[in-house]
Structure 1
């Protein structure tokens, strides 16, 4: 088995490649070619501490090869933030398509960071107005950084505004991009989104940070941070006003707090989720239908995204001789000392 650490994953997985991989993952999923149950959530002792288990069986080789099993196991540990650690930690396991022996194990933190932003970039490409050039990012963590990079590849920005609850964090993030992209920190959500064309909400907030009154017609929103039923980043008024698409209709209607709160309030029915990004890509569903409508991509994250990304990294690592080989399987007497 090949083990691939976080630094190697980052080195081998440029954002442009990840965007193409997520386009493939969305298409495979919405075409019904992926076998993937709902993710399983196991709570821990601490507030917000959970373990998510996300398996899938995915066709390989641009969807034309044999299928293979993959599994992401990732924990959310909010206490890591105070320690200067990423709150999302875990691994992606890939099994050999023929024997089901472990083929590779990869760091899941970096894969999740990159593929999540790449998925938003694919959604932005099909839902944002073609002339979009002002981007707002609400949040200052790893996803904020990766979304700045990813969305800029599909909608070259004239300006990118970053807001965070801690002003120093927003200023530090803007400084990271000073020599590459026009990023500046702003003191309020209102200033960030005032005339923005694309808004990415990538916060850890349990309460809404973005309201309908702040969003102008024609805006596209990537709603990324609220991936549990009891948390949301968008108000009910905003979601009701918007054209909503997602990565998985089933996941969104069972897990996305942004949708579940207004559904319980009777604001709309399940049909308010108009379709999946993969359905837009294969022509089964319309994306943006007017220049003035507000569009929302409700992102939950899918196992197929992790498995497709992990195979992409594994193929490059194997070709370049990178990673560490570990033998887990063998004959029954091996390792007994006899």
Structure 2
């Protein structure tokens, strides 16, 4: 078995690599060539979450599992709050192939999924990017969004405003004016809104969102989590990485429970990527991408990391 350490991931996988890998695996899912297995997710107390996401991509010959979770005390220890590792197995024999550091890969694949939704669903004339959240992953989201669309400025809100200057510095690197705003201002000004928080209560209310907005909701991946009011999904066209996760642990769980949305109303983004389903119909409709984070995203980017590490001779070989 080979080990690809977390410290080597940045030199092996670029944001463009992650975007291409996630796009390909979403398309494979839509064609029925790849599938995710049920998620195991448990609360450990103190805001800590731990779980397993697994799946198989038959087209890409990838089988594996990501083990990890959210540990809110890590920032004070100088570590990222999200900690994970990806384990890859031979799909024919079941033998372990590799253990790959999953922290940076998680941020890259999450941002790639959001960017894919923006590329395929946001209005062509979208110019103002709004971001709700300013934690570790927010910077990845901003950079990924700016790669797929030309924005004129960025507006942002965070529960703790003192964290926003770090996001503002990223916007400055990209040459984008940045402004900290209220939620009301963010909703009235942004054409695209990315939510990337760990909230268990709706942050954006129905009245905040104007018609024509595209929302990429990227933080809700556990039962009980919520970033936007269910009523918003009730009047929007909803897309997702996987419908089963969307209605059980994603943002759609609340709208479904309230009877505002049915699973049949949700379109996999992969179907839009392959052309099997349309994306945005008209400029003034609200579109939402419920990014729950599927195992196949992690396996796809981990496979890229492993392949590059093998090519460069930096994967660590261990006996099993």
> TM class by shorter-chain length?
over 0.9
Distance in 1 (CA, whole Å) between partners of 2:198 and 2:53 is 21
TM-score by length of 2: 0.94
Q: Which has the larger radius of gyration?
A: 1
CA RMSD of aligned residues (A): 1.8
1:210-247, Cα deviation, whole Å (9 max, x unpaired): 12222221110000112122121111221111110111
- The question of whether the paired residues in 1 share the 8 Å contact of 2:243 and 2:263 is answered with no
Choose 12-21 or 172-181, whichever is displaced more: 172-181
- Could you tell me which of 292, 296, 300 is aligned with 1:304? 296
1:301: how far off? 0.8
- The question of whether the paired residues in 2 share the 8 Å contact of 1:199 and 1:221 is answered with yes
Tell me which residue corresponds to 2:56.
57
- The question of whether the paired residues in 2 share the 8 Å contact of 1:167 and 1:187 is answered with no
Tell me which residue corresponds to 2:244.
250
Point out where structure 2 has 5 or more consecutive residues left out of the alignment: none
1:183: how far off? 4.6
Q: How does 1:25-174 map to 2 (within 5 A)?
A: 25-44=25-44, 46-59=45-58, 63=59, 67-174=61-168
1:50-77, Cα deviation, whole Å (9 max, x unpaired): 3211121213xxx3x5x23211111222
1:20: how far off? 1.1
1:144-186, Cα deviation, whole Å (9 max, x unpaired): 1111011111112111222212222101221234232315240
Match of 1:207, SS state, is: strand
1:259: how far off? 2.0
1:3-55, Cα deviation, whole Å (9 max, x unpaired): 222231122211112111111010111211114211112332x2332321112
1:265-301, Cα deviation, whole Å (9 max, x unpaired): 233433332x100111122222111110010000111
Match of 1:160, SS state, is: strand
Point out where structure 1 has 5 or more consecutive residues left out of the alignment: 329-338
Q: How does 1:194-273 map to 2 (within 5 A)?
A: 194-256=188-250, 258-273=251-266
1:180-210, Cα deviation, whole Å (9 max, x unpaired): 2315240422233322111000011111111
Residues 179 and 224 of structure 1: CA distance in aligned 2, closer, same or farther (over 3 Å):
closer
- The question of whether the paired residues in 2 share the 8 Å contact of 1:170 and 1:185 is answered with no
Which structure's residues are more often strand, by fraction?
Answer: 2
- The question of whether the paired residues in 1 share the 8 Å contact of 2:155 and 2:181 is answered with no
- The question of whether the paired residues in 2 share the 8 Å contact of 1:117 and 1:150 is answered with yes
1:98: how far off? 5.0
- The question of whether the paired residues in 1 share the 8 Å contact of 2:217 and 2:288 is answered with yes
Tell me which residue corresponds to 2:24.
24
TM-score by length of 1: 0.89
